Chains A and B, each alone.
Chain A
Amino acid sequence: GAGVSQSPRYKVTKRGQDVALRCDPISGHVSLYWYRQALGQGPEFLTYFNYEAQQDKSGLPNDRFSAERPEGSISTLTIQRTEQRDSAMYRCASSSPPGTASYEQYFGPGTRLTVT
């Protein structure tokens, strides 16, 4: 079956531009997570949603970062006024909520963002 998909897979943008990264979770999965992974580091939590509600955004580094999931399915992570330090792999994952049989987080292929 279809897994988590992310687009674009690669994004090169100039400093100061806005970017929008998309995540399409596994159909029926309630929870959706965003992580950021810098080179040589492990994934770092940014934010997550249950349905359309943003449950935790404590990992968003500053107010240039925002995320939404308006219909409880596809999510968009937006970075405004990009800076070179935003360059990283952005990973999305989805899972079913507590109380269901599976709570495993399934990851997408990631979006490699490069800010020049």
Chain B
Amino acid sequence: AQRVTQPEKLLSVFKGAPVELKCNYSYSGSPELFWYVQYSRQRLQLLLRHISRESIKGFTADLNKGETSFHLKKPFAQEEDSAMYYCALSGRRGGGSEKLVFGKGTKLTVNP
């Protein structure tokens, strides 16, 4: 079965501190992993995906197949990073026409 687990419902850090949002997944094949973000009063949007190996807004995420994890990290959190973060997986590598399976989300608050 496809499953995404985000163990932390809430995460609070101070500005300038490192932040790590945890994500573990369960999937029998080779999934695509994504991080989506929803800022206050905005729509859900893609933050980054593992195949592109990019850093967006200072965030990075590495796929660890051994630990089936895709944790999101940023070395120095900013107040504007406060948002709801969702980890998601898709079953088809590079595919767009495939459903996303989401975790329950982690609400990140960055305090001044």
Say which residue of B9, B46, B92, B99 sits within 8 Å of A33 (CB atoms): B99
Q: Quick check: is A84 within 8 A (CB to CB) of the other chain?
A: no
A8 to chain B, nearest CB (A): 16
Q: Quick check: is B100 within 8 A (CB to CB) of the other chain?
A: yes
B58-66, B69-77, B101-109: which one contacts chain A?
B101-109
Q: How many interface residues does chain B have, given as a range? A: 20 to 34
Can you offer 18 A-B residue contacts whose CB atoms are under 8 A? A3-B43, A30-B97, A31-B96, A33-B99, A33-B100, A35-B100, A35-B102, A40-B104, A42-B6, A42-B88, A42-B104, A45-B99, A48-B99, A55-B97, A59-B99, A98-B92, A104-B49, A105-B46
B contact residues vs A (CB 8 Å cutoff): 4, 6, 9, 43-46, 49, 86, 88, 92, 94-97, 99-105
